[in-house]
Amino acid sequence: MTTPSSSRATPTRCALTCRNERLDTVAQTCVLNQLYDRLWLYHNAFLPVMRLQEKRLVPGVNGSPTRIQRIYDRARTPFERVCESGVCEPHLRDQLEALYATTNPRQLRQEIEDLVDYIISLPAAVPGHRRTST
């Protein structure tokens, strides 16, 4: 599946990118990994994306410049695109469909927002102190 290509920023992205501190403590890293797992599922299973099919040159009227007309396909999620393409092995497709069927998008979105809030509440690393994960 692909990474999401959305032109609008989600609250999750804004909350994490507007911070001035680095997210580099062991606790922050563990929670970030949990967040990435949930974001992967949310973006690939529930956020539809329109893909560019073709570009056409449209001549201008009365001397106006030529413009480009972009033609897009219908919006589908990366999950739907993989299932429709037939490139996925049957057992893997069954696993993905089971995951999709058992996931509540609203609950998943709430988990994502809760994880972001938790990451923001964690203390930042102390400059000059080195900690390693064990």
The residues with which 58 forms a beta bridge, in sequence order, are 67
Residue boundaries of the structural domains of the chain: 11-121
Q: What angle do CA 4, 91, 73 make, to 5 degrees?
A: 35
Q: What is the mean predicted confidence (pLDDT) over 35-44? A: 95
DSSP-derived secondary structure letter, 49: B
pLDDT of residue 25: 84
DSSP-derived secondary structure letter, 86: T
Helix locations, 25-76, DSSP H = 26-46
DSSP-derived secondary structure letter, 76: B
At 57, which helix (H) or strand (E)? strand 52-58
pTM strictly above 0.75:
no
Percentage of the chain modeled with pLDDT above 90: 54
